Amino acid sequence: MDFYTGKVLRLDLTGLRASVEPLDAEWARLFVGGKGLLLRSLFEELAPGTDALSPGNPLILATGPFAGTPAATCSRLAVGCKSPATGTLLDSYVGGSFAPALKFAGYDLVVITGRAPAPVLVRITDDKVEFVPAEGRYWGLETASLEELIRAEMGPEAKVLSTGPAGENLVPFACLSTDQFHKAGRGGAGAVMGSKNLKAVVVRGTGAVTVPDAAGFTREMLRLQDERVLSADNAWTYEEGTPFLVDAVSGAGALPTRNWRTGTFAGAGAINSTALLSIRTKIRACTQCPLACRQVHTFEDYICEGPEFETLGLCGANCDVDDLAAVATFNRECDEVGLDTMSTGAVVALAMDLCEQGAADYGLAFGDTAGYLRAPRLIALREGYGAELALGARALGALKGRPDLAPEVKGLEMPAYDPRGTFGMGLGYATSDRGACHMRAFSAGDDILGGAGAADSLEGKARLVVDQQDFSAVAWTGVWCANMALDPDFLGAHFKHLWGRETTPEELLTIGARIWNLGRLLNLREGLRREDDRLPERILSVPHPDGVAAGKVLGAGAFREALDEYYRLRGWDAEGVPTRDTLSRLSLAELSPGGAV
Ligand code: SF4
């Protein structure tokens, strides 16, 4: 199979056995790679109702067909499992260089099952797989120290995907790390790796990916790189990177501030891209990416890749911290212990709010950086008040009798776009397959970043959200980077080489819809229902007291109507279950006979 290795590596940690299976060619045809293959495999491997932290939850690593080729930005890895944070499917993406290394070692997919009897590290060198005892050497190490040690042992070409102390301690928002600063951040894949007594997967590959007409393919990829990737549309990535969003989103009244009390942050100027550019010392790139958007900043005694916009929003504005060095240190602490900065910032902001409201006594306060900087380590180790914060926002709010202070959807803390300043993001969060997520549908682009959308209206947003979700699903079969401006023509130029024929935008969106509906079937099988496609009461009915979006709320009635419209456009019934016709149209009927799950 050109572009694919045609092999799936299965790691049974319970028996410490490795085996290789052929990649299902029909799955590759229908689901392509990345998100598609990951969800198809998860649907097969996950028994309904499995506890996310039990040995029965598979951890799946999926590459895309273009990883390891000259295609730009396709070196990203898709990581998936059932999420311990949400109980939904989880797919999370990470850049760096791990995915090409996995292809060079000979694998499209890795399926990790069971739980090792004692901590291990898995070492893959082409077709040689070793289960190395991790206790006393690797287990307990923070992410940078672990990578340093492994590179010293195996050489610089060894690529590491690891969990930190937070994952070892099963914190439900623990992330996976690779190339030190790259994170598969959301949804708790780090805890799932930890629950398997697995510290890291290390891969070193010496093979190559075969493509038909390699010279022609390379020529075409270079043309696309010049004309499309390094175009003016993408210049923001290397000029400023995601921090440019701080001013734009705060200016729209959508930057969560003081635990979502308002959306305009008075300290934005201290943590925006201008502030970061003044201390930027270099830029880095994922493998095979000419955009090099990874901004490296030098602070007094350390360097930090990032912080990215979401971290600046949730760990800065939302905690009322306008000290850039403090936000960067918080970012570094999260990176070292293996925590998702987004959920950690959201949880710490909630804890500050609980303290201010008299519902908790953690000694945390908005804007107080001393307590704030201790939080990531306490959470990762579940020490002191960290044991309660490690529950995540939904459980912490419930524990303290204030669920109203914990903005989350399906248990995932909301990203740094307050829907009261960009209504369409609310529908996107509510219907996202892995809980509140800005990466499935990004209507903020139309609402507040120069598009034609009305930020304070849900009209037309159901169509927009469906189309963006379907497009993102097909883009992540690739697995292209979401930082780049993508469209069906660009994807089609790659699929032409993959399939040897032209594709239409409709055909590509059908692949996306197939993957999205497969995810829906998975989530329904796990017990999710219409009532889980919700938004926090605060977003629906409590307006900001000030700022650009003051006085605006989505409203329960308007949200209900938009959700009805969304289900109708998807071909789902009023409860959000795909109909028989929808499943047949998308070649999914066999996964759910009769349209029910
Ligand atoms: S745009 Fe940035 S994050 Fe995306 S692949 Fe390139 S370097 Fe990596």
Q: Mean of the per-residue pLDDT values for the chain?
A: 96
pLDDT digits (tens, 9 = 90+) for 487-530: 999 999 999 999 999 999 999 999 999 999 999 999 999 999 99
Q: For ligand 1, is residue 95 a contact (CB within 6 Å)?
A: yes
Ligand 1 centre to CA of 196 (Å) is 30
Question: Which residue, by CA, sits nearest to atom 4 of ligand 1?
Answer: 481
At residue 416, the pLDDT reads 98
pLDDT digits (tens, 9 = 90+) for 189-202: 999 999 999 999 99
Pocket test for ligand 1, best of 178, 293, 479 (most atoms within 8 A of CB): 293
In the predicted structure, residue 174 carries a pLDDT above the cut 90:
yes
Question: Which residue, by CA, sits nearest to atom 2 of ligand 1?
Answer: 293
Q: Which residue is listed with tokens 């934005």?
A: 268
At residue 448, the pLDDT reads 87
In the predicted structure, residue 595 carries a pLDDT above the cut 80:
no
For the residues 163-187, what does the mean pLDDT come to? 96
d(CA 8, CA 124) in angstroms, rounded, equals: 13
d(CA 547, CA 171) in angstroms, rounded, equals: 35
For the residues 560-575, what does the mean pLDDT come to? 98
Q: For the chain, what percent of residues have pLDDT higher than 90? A: 95
d(CA 318, CA 242) in angstroms, rounded, equals: 17
Ligand 1 centre to CA of 72 (Å) is 9
Nearest one of 420, 413, 466, 419 to 435, comparing CA atoms: 413
At residue 596, the pLDDT reads 59
Q: For ligand 1, is residue 242 a contact (CB within 6 Å)?
A: no
Ligand 1 centre to CA of 229 (Å) is 11
pLDDT digits (tens, 9 = 90+) for 43-88: 999 999 999 999 999 999 999 999 999 999 999 999 999 999 999 9
Q: For ligand 1, is residue 291 a contact (CB within 6 Å)?
A: yes
Nearest one of 494, 461, 462 to 475, comparing CA atoms: 494
94 beta partners: 77
Q: For ligand 1, is residue 87 a contact (CB within 6 Å)?
A: no
d(CA 372, CA 389) in angstroms, rounded, equals: 12
Nearest one of 372, 270, 394, 287 to 324, comparing CA atoms: 270
For the residues 451-473, what does the mean pLDDT come to? 94
pLDDT digits (tens, 9 = 90+) for 359-389: 999 999 999 999 999 999 999 999 999 999 9
At residue 451, the pLDDT reads 74
Q: For ligand 1, is residue 346 a contact (CB within 6 Å)?
A: no
At residue 302, the pLDDT reads 82
Q: For ligand 1, is residue 268 a contact (CB within 6 Å)?
A: no
At residue 1, the pLDDT reads 86
At residue 594, the pLDDT reads 60
- Would you say the pTM of this structure is higher than 0.75? yes
Pocket test for ligand 1, best of 476, 483, 484 (most atoms within 8 A of CB): 483
